[in-house]
Chains A and B, each alone.
Chain A
Amino acid sequence: MSVRLAVDIGGTFTDFALETPTQSFTAKVLTTPTEPERAVLEGTVQILAQAGLSPDALDLVVHGTTLATNAIIERKGAKVAFLTTEGFRDVLAMGTESRYDQYDLQIDLPEPLVPRRLRLPVRERLDRAGRVLVPLDEEGVRALLPVLRAEEVEALAVGFLHAYINPCHEHRVREILRDVRPDLPVTLSSEVSPEMREYERFSTTVANAYVQPLMDRYLSRLEDGLRTLGVRAPLLMMLSSGGLCSVETARRFPVRLVESGPAGGAIFAAATAREAGLTRVLSYDMGGTTAKVCLVDDFRPRTARAFEVARVGRFKKGSGLPLRIPVVEMVEIGAGGGSIARVDSLGRIAVGPESAGADPGPACYGRGGTRPTVTDANLLLGRYDPDRFAGGRLALQADRAEAAMAGHVAEPQGIDVATAAVGVVEIVDEAMANAARVHAIEAGTALEGRTLIAFGGGGPVHAARVAEKIGIDEVLVPPGAGVGSAIGFLRAPVAYEVVRSLYQRLASLDVARINALFAEMRAEAEAIVAQGAPGRAEEEERLAFMRYVGQGHEIAVRLPNRPLNEADHATLRAAYDSAYAATYNRPVPGADIEILAFALRLVASADPPPPVRAAMSTAAAEPITRPVRDPVSGLVDPWTIYDRSALAVGAAIAGPAIIAEDETSTLVPLGWRARIDEHGYIRLTRGRKASP
């Protein structure tokens, strides 16, 4: 094992994790938004000093950043022109023609990244089979050049109808432009997202062009900076899909980096699951403003082929820009420690998505916040030691929390402050449980029998109650939860996924065509993986996206890692039927099956996990007790408070108890037991009948 550094740029902090064959280190520095590489370089110097290493000792640097996401959210990307099929310049503006909130007359829809005057129609047309109905008007393309110059366009996107099946016109446009404007980067829809459905494909194409110049400049500065520092290790970038790629690939398809930070968190959970040998997991990351849940099966986060970025209706599905790229599939809701509680027009307690953020923060921070938050509720229930919060850097003020809770929740509800606090945590826990349930149904899987892996500042506090609500009996809290994403980067494999649309009926499978397609996809993935992990052994996964003929949603079905033959018809049918039954338990007898698309994922073997952590201090401090209110019974009992660093491997604790550490607290409610396992993980288990 080598010396590896991971860097995760987040909105507030840039997190670092460094691992050597024998030790691991973490660090946090404030993000420098205008020149993000400054924080990266500063933290790198800092963590190397901490480890006593020189820059040339690094063997690998892994990096993830929210830069691309923020550019889209804040509309700070490049000026892009979008060349598209005549008659379809408004695909980006019209979207799905629907409203994401049926009952709100005042909704706004997301503005396209390219204004209409820069959505430039080009005469050409292909049919669904890729045959040319109208040849490309090459003169028309050249005639657009003065517009590009006059508007000082910085990047180009090209999206034609049915280009996923035949990219000839898109390729020709690039050739024409390259001759006259070699300075302009060009994104083709047939390369960035070669799948059917023009709105999602065009949206992805334009987003790629929009962030490309910015990411290109940033990556150049970062590479220069690291070189100047004396770092000689290769730099790999974290992808939204949870894999890694080379800087060169990141430059070509920067849109694939958009969700890389949260993906790191999911990889962290997946790596934890692997070490603990847990095959069915729900990853649960709760921070200051949001909570994210993600399904992890067989040590891999579930992935999807599409997601939305920059939602204008906060956290409302359908209110963002769709991106069709491989991505770790997760649900993010506006439920964090800073989420604000209120009483709605129906007299119900509602929590979030509005957040007090870090400034002013919860009322108990004493920085001017006057509205009650989830953190205030937790404090009022006795879950935090006011003097130990955030490692003692911030003394919490219970009287401020109480005043806020009284004025905004208890009085309007006509109840006491303590019960109001119970209400706030119950409502926020319920919201997270509901998000997890809907996520599971959308993924076509069940939550029962999974283990919840909880991290982030709020995850371990709320984990047991959320688990109860979704029928989960086991919770695992890994150490290092504060920089989970960065640690996750170190566990990520170099991997790349290629998806291609190819319509097939199972009854009339064109085996030769499918095999040829897979060969192409394999070559494309190999080239990219080889850049990032030269010489590594590769593992391949083939998928078909299948459904009953006439259905609208596909199920991913695993294919054998070899060319298909005629006899595989029956294998595929059986694989599909069992996958469908597992999800919806009502297979449709006799219905034919169709395949919409195929995917190939190539994964280079990852570095092995670090050695088992040494047992921690066994100098057991005498545990204290504190009155804590239980949200289920509403009663106050003395709970035992333990210090996590004082618990040795094998320590066993019966609830009710709290295991406190600097960045978070793990709640062990009545009916739960905690144990410190051989990895230093806290393992919570529930006796089934203990909770109502």
Chain B
Amino acid sequence: MKDAAPHRPTAPLAALERIRLQVMWNRLIAVVEEQAQTMIRTAFSTTVREAGDLSAGIFDLQGRMLAQAVTGTPGHVNSMAESVAHFLRAFPPETMLPGDHYITNDPWLATGHLHDLTVVTPAFRDGHLVALFANTAHVIDVGGLGMGPEGRSVFEEGLTIPIVKCFEQGRPNDTFFAFLRANSRTPAELEGDVYSLCACNEAGVRRLVAMMEEYGLDSIGPLAEAIFDASLKATLAEIARLPQGTWRAELTSDGYDEPIRLCAALSVREGAIEVDYAGTSPLASRGINVPPAYTRAYTCFGLKVVIAPEVPNNWASLLPFRITIPPGSILNAPRPYPVSVRHVIGQLLPDLMMGCLAQVVPERVAAEGSSSLWNPPLRGGPQVSGPRATCPDFEIITFNSGGTGARWAKDGLSACAFPSGVRTMPVEATENAAPIIIWRKELRPDSAGAGRTRGGFGQTMVIGAADDAEFAVNAIFDRVGNPPRGRFGGKDGAPGAVLRDDGVVLRTKGYQVIPAGRRLVLHLPGGGGMGDPRERDPALVARDVADGLISPEAAARDYGFVKDTA
């Protein structure tokens, strides 16, 4: 896109400086990417190293994010960014020393649940503090009830780490590490992860200092201003392309024990997009509540993928998105409400944003998708079965996704993680990590919402313990009572289902034991369709029928497709 304003050629020296700032911006994005890659290479928790549930970024001394690694999950976007300001309040810049690393997992000071650790590290050049590096990663266990919705307050959900130094001038804080180890089911992994987070920030510090030396910089201030200026302008230019007005949408989540209504009013204004969640259901008694930083994170993501996907994430590019969350709503959980599985609700927010934006830019949104990850935490051994147990204690979680919503000109993606973007783990690796047998993990026929473009297919999983022993699942599944909806005449995706292999229906949320000899069956939702199915290219329907993904009956019912006429 061309700049709208006409330019006169600037003086060569100023022009050269302009080029240098662009080159350094690229470098900064590479620096934070290197930071993220170091974490993936050194982390212990499967959630980080296999699934990529992490983020990494660089900040100026006012706590404004300059750049964020493209590797990472959107839930940490700007929730980590907000977090750095809290660190600066706890440890003002003048108290920071080289080799210090600060840490917290407080849901209200960081990224919304205790399983996310955030580490902040100051970067020094020639004895002067020049920047801060931060990263966030989802670890496997911090004690308490474990990952799941059952807690009634954050105190039941695990160990809270206030903002403290985990390393002081390069030396580990032994008291901190002793507390940490004593409060986890997986102490070695947790300690190793903290080491990994610190190594990751150190990699960022080294690269930043090298860049500043190369360019003879004493401060990143002018670079920060250039980045913020260009990013704000680009975001505003994209907003200016939209018509002004207010659009509303609603979406219903299954909730813990009763449905949750999510309501949004999205207003496009001069220089801003405002989102108001008035009308949204109140707080829940269990851990599906969403702290406000996490709400803002997935709201911004939903807006950004549609409105300004090319603008890199930083403080300025997120500025024009203004979000109002009524106190007392499930999207504005205060301490000490339980928040462990806030992703179940939070990951629906991009669908809600697209519900509003579908009325503005229909060709740029997707239909609703499965959206919330289907992550069954599985547990077995004496901690489930007591002395009757036939295997030692185990604890494992796998990440799985249903279908995404149809797009204007393309089908949705089958079994694909939107919006979280986290990867699944190989079945062979999971079975090597715990006495679990996954008997089926394949696409779920007839689950994609029909449409001119159809949704992505969900998947079906059948899981048992080795030797068909007793085990337990801490269910955190959504879109069972409320399937992903189609748009513009497209059909809904198939709702999810949680069962035993003998047909007994299970609750979608909460701790449940699968008795010996039985297996857990998960049908993950398909994505919603877009547009009238009768307008779909019959050749594409024929392909899906031949592939066994759409039954002949469904093809006839939804698409009016009969094989002989194709």
Which residue numbers of A lie inside 8 Å of B, CB to CB?
Answer: 86-91, 93-94, 96-99, 102-109, 115-117, 125, 127-128, 133, 161-162, 164, 196-200, 343-349, 410-416, 418-419, 422-423, 426-427, 430-431, 434, 437-438, 441-442, 444, 468-469, 471, 503, 548-553, 583-586, 588, 590-592, 634, 691-692
A557 to B290, CA, bound (A): 45
Q: Which residues of B contact A410 (CB under 8 A)?
A: 9
With contacts A414-B9, A426-B19 taken as known, whether A105 is within 8 angstroms of B413 at the C-beta atoms is no
With contacts A97-B400, A99-B413 taken as known, whether A345 is within 8 angstroms of B34 at the C-beta atoms is no
A97 and B431 contact, CB distance less than 8 A: no
Q: Which residue of A lies closest to B29 (CB)?
A: A434
Q: Which residue of B lies closest to A162 (CB)?
A: B428
Told that A96-B423, A103-B310, A128-B431 touch, could you supply 5 new A-B pairs with CB distance under 8 A? A412-B3, A415-B19, A416-B12, A553-B49, A585-B199
The answer to the question of B258 belonging to the interface, with a C-beta cut-off of 8 Å to chain A, is no
B41 and A469 contact, CB distance less than 8 A: no
The smallest C-beta distance from A331 to any residue of chain B, in angstroms, reads 12
Q: Which residue of B lies closest to A692 (CB)?
A: B216
Can you list 29 A-B pairs, Cβ within 8 angstroms, ordered by A?
A: A87-B462, A90-B443, A94-B442, A96-B424, A97-B399, A98-B416, A99-B413, A105-B309, A117-B547, A345-B1, A348-B25, A348-B230, A411-B7, A412-B2, A415-B7, A415-B10, A427-B22, A430-B27, A434-B27, A437-B34, A469-B214, A550-B186, A551-B42, A551-B192, A552-B49, A584-B38, A584-B42, A585-B202, A586-B42
The answer to the question of B231 belonging to the interface, with a C-beta cut-off of 8 Å to chain A, is yes
A88 and B427 contact, CB distance less than 8 A: yes
A196 and B38 contact, CB distance less than 8 A: no
B407 and A427 contact, CB distance less than 8 A: no
A423 to B214, CA, bound (A): 17
A670 to B430, CA, bound (A): 56
Q: Which residue of A lies closest to B6 (CB)?
A: A414
Find B427's partner among A89, A161, A585, A590 (CB 8 Å cutoff): A161
A438 and B3 contact, CB distance less than 8 A: no
Q: Which residues of B contact A413 (CB under 8 A)?
A: 7, 15, 18
The answer to the question of B189 belonging to the interface, with a C-beta cut-off of 8 Å to chain A, is yes
The smallest C-beta distance from A439 to any residue of chain B, in angstroms, reads 10
The answer to the question of B169 belonging to the interface, with a C-beta cut-off of 8 Å to chain A, is no
Those of B7-28 within 8 Å (CB) of chain A:
7-10, 12-13, 15-16, 18-20, 22-23, 25-27
A116 and B548 contact, CB distance less than 8 A: yes
The smallest C-beta distance from B562 to any residue of chain A, in angstroms, reads 19
With contacts A103-B309, A347-B233 taken as known, whether A434 is within 8 angstroms of B429 at the C-beta atoms is no
With contacts A414-B9, A548-B44 taken as known, whether A345 is within 8 angstroms of B401 at the C-beta atoms is no
Those of B362-390 within 8 Å (CB) of chain A:
364-366
Q: Which residue of A lies closest to B45 (CB)?
A: A550
A98 and B432 contact, CB distance less than 8 A: no
The smallest C-beta distance from A34 to any residue of chain B, in angstroms, reads 29
A590 to B187, CA, bound (A): 12
Q: Which residues of B contact A419 (CB under 8 A)?
A: 12, 15-16, 19
Q: Which 3 A-B pairs have the closest CB atoms?
A: A414-B7, A552-B49, A87-B440
A441 and B44 contact, CB distance less than 8 A: no
A98 and B423 contact, CB distance less than 8 A: yes
A105 and B305 contact, CB distance less than 8 A: yes
The answer to the question of B264 belonging to the interface, with a C-beta cut-off of 8 Å to chain A, is no
Q: Which residues of B contact A199 (CB under 8 A)?
A: 426
A86 to B19, CA, bound (A): 57
Q: Which residues of B contact A346 (CB under 8 A)?
A: 230-231, 233-234, 310-312
Q: Which residues of A contact B19 (CB under 8 A)?
A: 349, 415, 419, 422-423, 426
Chain B, interface size category, equals 35 or more
Find A550's partner among B12, B192, B459 (CB 8 Å cutoff): B192
B426 and A551 contact, CB distance less than 8 A: no
Q: Which residues of B contact A106 (CB under 8 A)?
A: 407, 410
Q: Which residues of B contact A411 (CB under 8 A)?
A: 7
Find B426's partner among A196, A548, A553 (CB 8 Å cutoff): A196
Q: Which residues of A contact B186 (CB under 8 A)?
A: 550
Q: Which residues of B contact A551 (CB under 8 A)?
A: 42-44, 49, 192
- Map CB proximity to A onto B291-335 as digits: 1 under 8 Å, 0 otherwise: 000000000000011100111100000000000000000000000
The smallest C-beta distance from B147 to any residue of chain A, in angstroms, reads 17
With contacts A438-B30, A591-B192 taken as known, whether A99 is within 8 angstroms of B414 at the C-beta atoms is no
The smallest C-beta distance from B39 to any residue of chain A, in angstroms, reads 10
Q: Which residues of A contact B49 (CB under 8 A)?
A: 551-553
Those of B538-554 within 8 Å (CB) of chain A:
546-549
A556 to B201, CA, bound (A): 24
Q: Which residues of B contact A161 (CB under 8 A)?
A: 427-428
With contacts A97-B415, A198-B426, A347-B234 taken as known, whether A117 is within 8 angstroms of B548 at the C-beta atoms is yes
Q: Which residues of A contact B20 (CB under 8 A)?
A: 426
A345 and B311 contact, CB distance less than 8 A: yes
Q: Which residues of B contact A553 (CB under 8 A)?
A: 40-42, 49
The smallest C-beta distance from B530 to any residue of chain A, in angstroms, reads 12
With contacts A427-B22, A552-B50 taken as known, whether A441 is within 8 angstroms of B421 at the C-beta atoms is no
B432 and A128 contact, CB distance less than 8 A: yes
A97 and B401 contact, CB distance less than 8 A: yes
With contacts A109-B413, A161-B427, A634-B16 taken as known, whether A102 is within 8 angstroms of B231 at the C-beta atoms is no
Q: Which residues of A contact B8 (CB under 8 A)?
A: 414
A90 and B442 contact, CB distance less than 8 A: yes
Q: Which residues of A contact B198 (CB under 8 A)?
A: 586
Those of B419-446 within 8 Å (CB) of chain A:
421-424, 426-429, 431-432, 437, 439-443
A550 and B188 contact, CB distance less than 8 A: yes
A438 and B34 contact, CB distance less than 8 A: yes
Q: Which residues of B contact A348 (CB under 8 A)?
A: 22, 25, 230
With contacts A87-B440, A103-B305 taken as known, whether A442 is within 8 angstroms of B41 at the C-beta atoms is yes
Find A416's partner among B15, B188, B231, B238 (CB 8 Å cutoff): B15
A426 and B23 contact, CB distance less than 8 A: yes
The answer to the question of B466 belonging to the interface, with a C-beta cut-off of 8 Å to chain A, is yes
With contacts A344-B310, A427-B23 taken as known, whether A442 is within 8 angstroms of B364 at the C-beta atoms is no
The answer to the question of B118 belonging to the interface, with a C-beta cut-off of 8 Å to chain A, is no
A550 to B141, CA, bound (A): 13
A442 and B413 contact, CB distance less than 8 A: no
- Map CB proximity to A onto B34-64 as digits: 1 under 8 Å, 0 otherwise: 1001101111111011101000000000000
B70 and A102 contact, CB distance less than 8 A: yes
Q: Which residue of B lies closest to A199 (CB)?
A: B426
The smallest C-beta distance from B510 to any residue of chain A, in angstroms, reads 25
A503 to B428, CA, bound (A): 13
Q: Which residues of B contact A164 (CB under 8 A)?
A: 428
Find A198's partner among B22, B45, B427 (CB 8 Å cutoff): B427
Q: Which residues of A contact B74 (CB under 8 A)?
A: 102
Q: Which residues of A contact B231 (CB under 8 A)?
A: 346
Q: Which residues of B contact A90 (CB under 8 A)?
A: 415, 441-443, 459
Which of A93, A343, A410, A551 counts the most B-chain CB atoms under 10 A from its CB?
Answer: A551
The smallest C-beta distance from B260 to any residue of chain A, in angstroms, reads 25
A550 and B44 contact, CB distance less than 8 A: yes
The smallest C-beta distance from B158 to any residue of chain A, in angstroms, reads 19
Q: Which residue of A lies closest to B7 (CB)?
A: A414
Q: Which residues of A contact B7 (CB under 8 A)?
A: 411-415
Q: Which residue of B lies closest to A425 (CB)?
A: B19
Find A94's partner among B3, B192, B439, B459 (CB 8 Å cutoff): B459
Q: Which residues of B contact A116 (CB under 8 A)?
A: 443, 547-549
A558 to B441, CA, bound (A): 37
With contacts A117-B548, A346-B311 taken as known, whether A196 is within 8 angstroms of B432 at the C-beta atoms is yes
- Map CB proximity to A onto B191-213 as digits: 1 under 8 Å, 0 otherwise: 11001001100110001001000
A415 to B22, CA, bound (A): 14
A345 and B40 contact, CB distance less than 8 A: no
A345 and B410 contact, CB distance less than 8 A: no
A590 to B312, CA, bound (A): 40
A101 to B17, CA, bound (A): 31
B416 and A127 contact, CB distance less than 8 A: no
The answer to the question of B418 belonging to the interface, with a C-beta cut-off of 8 Å to chain A, is yes
B3 and A347 contact, CB distance less than 8 A: yes
